[in-house]
């Protein structure tokens, strides 16, 4: 799907976009966020065995949010099972009480909104696309493996997927998350053209 | 006298962008590219690092570790950090570790040249 140079450029573009995401996340939780160097994998589909291989078979929480505009697709974010608890704790919410589960879900969805917004907006800005619109983020699964989470969530036939493996870690906490970006084929061609233009200009 | 410059970034696109943004007044330079912190330190040990443009998030050895090692070695290398991690605390941390300046990505020619001027390389 992508050449090595195109993947290198996209990886750097996502790196910059995720840096902005980390900055927003850090402001939300008032804690320094440690960013890893992103790795990008081109996948044939969400069912690509590489995905489970990369993300393992430990239980996760998965959220999703779609985007439309010059770029069309969907981002799925995988959080560690303790991610919501860690966030709630960082933000001073009690882990007990009837509202605890609702608060944790809201936090995970807030973080999804921040990261997907930063990722797709960052991609759009750097490749000179107009802004995308976003759906409301939703919870996909909780307490299942990646394979189970995606079992009934096949990509549309005209889509391709990019796995952006980037870890957001919070020092002294177990919080981490990874992003799966699914881009519609029609948008892939647009991205490839824009990346080639960027590469040509350097 | 030749100025030895290291451009350390895991992205070849970023390495090229930084190289192309260097001001033409810096004509007598020898540039070494490093794809990670380890290669950046190898360049330092080889005496090829008067100036280092350093990314923070790199595989094998990150930019923070490079800064710590340079500090421990009491190196005279002038380090300009160029990073996507634009958290204010990241900037404070690298400056505390001895970096001369911080530039948030995406780097522009104008900003890079201004910072180079600010830190006295021109």
CATH number where A25 lies = 3.40.1550.10
d(CA B33, CA B37): 11
- Helical spans, DSSP H, in A63-99: 83-90
Q: Tell me the pLDDT of chain A (202 aa) as tens digits.
A: 788 899 899 999 999 999 999 999 899 888 899 888 888 887 765 556 666 676 677 888 999 999 999 888 889 898 888 777 888 888 777 766 678 788 888 889 999 999 999 999 999 999 999 888 999 999 998 888 887 877 766 555 556 677 777 778 887 777 778 888 888 877 888 899 999 999 998 8
Most B CBs within 10 Å: which of A25, A35, A194, as the mutation test of the B interface?
A35
A12 closest CB neighbour out of B11, B90, B104: B11
Contacts of A200 in chain B (CB under 8 A): none
- Helix B12-21 to helix B109-118 angle, to the nearest 10 degrees? 60
How much is the pLDDT for B36? 97
Cross-chain residue pair B14–A12, CB shorter than 8 Å: yes
Contacts A–B by Cβ distance under 8 A: 57
Residues B19-73: tens digit of each pLDDT: 999 999 888 999 999 999 999 999 999 999 999 999 999 999 999 999 999 999 9
Most A CBs within 10 Å: which of B11, B37, B55, as the mutation test of the A interface?
B11
Cross-chain residue pair A202–B16, CB shorter than 8 Å: yes
Token pair in block for residue A115 = 């990261």
A202 closest CB neighbour out of B17, B83, B104: B17
Which of A14, A61, A46, A13 lies closest to A174 in space, CA to CA? A61
Token pair in block for residue B110 = 């104008």
- CB count in 10 Å sphere of residue A197: 11
Contacts of B59 in chain A (CB under 8 A): 37
Cross-chain residue pair B11–A15, CB shorter than 8 Å: yes
Rounded to 5 degrees, φ, ψ at A32 are -70, 135
How much is the pLDDT for B122? 80
How much is the pLDDT for A201? 85
Cross-chain residue pair B57–A15, CB shorter than 8 Å: yes
Spatial CB neighbours of A175, under 8 Å, sequence gap ≥ 6: A79, A80, A82, A83, A86, A87, A90, A168, A169
Cross-chain residue pair B13–A9, CB shorter than 8 Å: yes
Cross-chain residue pair A37–B57, CB shorter than 8 Å: yes
Cross-chain residue pair B17–A126, CB shorter than 8 Å: no
d(CA A107, CA B116): 42
What domain count does chain A have? 1
Query: What is the residue range of A43's domain?
Result: 4-200
Question: Does any CB of chain A come closer than 8 Å to the CB of residue B89?
Answer: yes
d(CA A121, CA A129): 9
How much is the pLDDT for A155? 53
Q: Which DSSP letter does residue A131 get?
A: P
Question: Does any CB of chain A come closer than 8 Å to the CB of residue B90?
Answer: yes
How much is the pLDDT for A171? 78
d(CA A73, CA A161): 9
How much is the pLDDT for B91? 96
Cross-chain residue pair A16–B57, CB shorter than 8 Å: no
Number of H helices, E strands in chain A: 6, 9
Q: Coil, strand, or helix at residue A117?
A: helix
Residues B87-121: tens digit of each pLDDT: 999 999 999 999 999 999 999 999 999 999 998 88
How much is the pLDDT for A202? 83
How much is the pLDDT for A80? 84
> Which residue of A lies nearest to B107 if distances are taken between CA atoms?
A16
pTM of the predicted structure, to 2 decimals: 0.87
Cross-chain residue pair A202–B20, CB shorter than 8 Å: yes
| B84 half-sphere exposure, CB direction, 13 A CA radius | 28
Determine contact, residues A90/A31, Cβ cutoff 8 Å. Answer: yes
Beta strands in A57-137 (DSSP E): 60-68, 73-80, 133-134
């Amino acid at each position: 799907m992508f050449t090595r140079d195109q993947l290198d450029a996209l990886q750097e573009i996502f790196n910059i976009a995720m840096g902005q995401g980390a900055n927003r996340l850090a402001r939300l939780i008032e804690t320094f966020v440690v960013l890893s160097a992103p790795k990008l994998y081109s996948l044939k589909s969400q069912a690509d065995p590489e995905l489970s291989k990369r993300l393992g078979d430990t239980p996760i929480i998965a959220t999703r949010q779609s985007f439309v505009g010059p770029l069309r697709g969907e981002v799925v974010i995988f959080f560690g099972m303790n991610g919501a608890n860690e966030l709630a704790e960082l933000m001073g919410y009690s882990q007990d009480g009837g509202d605890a589960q609702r608060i944790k879900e809201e936090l995970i969805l807030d973080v999804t909104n921040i990261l997907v917004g930063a990722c797709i907006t960052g991609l759009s800005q750097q490749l000179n696309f107009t802004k995308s619109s976003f759906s409301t983020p939703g919870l996909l699964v909780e307490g299942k493996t990646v394979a189970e989470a995606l079992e009934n969530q096949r990509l549309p036939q005209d889509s391709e997927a990019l796995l952006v493996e980037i870890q957001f870690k919070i020092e002294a906490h177990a919080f981490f998350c990874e992003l799966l970006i699914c881009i519609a084929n029609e948008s892939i061609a647009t991205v490839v053209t824009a990346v080639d233009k960027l590469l040509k200009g350097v | 006298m030749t100025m030895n410059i290291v451009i350390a970034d895991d992205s070849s696109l970023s390495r090229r962008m930084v190289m192309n943004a260097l001001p033409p007044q810096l004509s007598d330079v020898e540039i070494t590219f490093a794809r990670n912190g380890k290669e950046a330190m190898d360049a330092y040990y080889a005496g090829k690092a008067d100036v280092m443009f350093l990314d923070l998030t790199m595989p094998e050895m990150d930019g923070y570790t490079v800064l710590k090692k340079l500090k421990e070695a009491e190196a005279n290398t002038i380090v300009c950090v160029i990073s996507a991690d634009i958290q204010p605390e990241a900037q404070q941390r690298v400056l505390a570790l001895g970096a001369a300046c911080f530039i948030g990505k995406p780097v522009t020619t104008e900003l890079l040249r201004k910072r180079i001027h600010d830190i006295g390389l021109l």
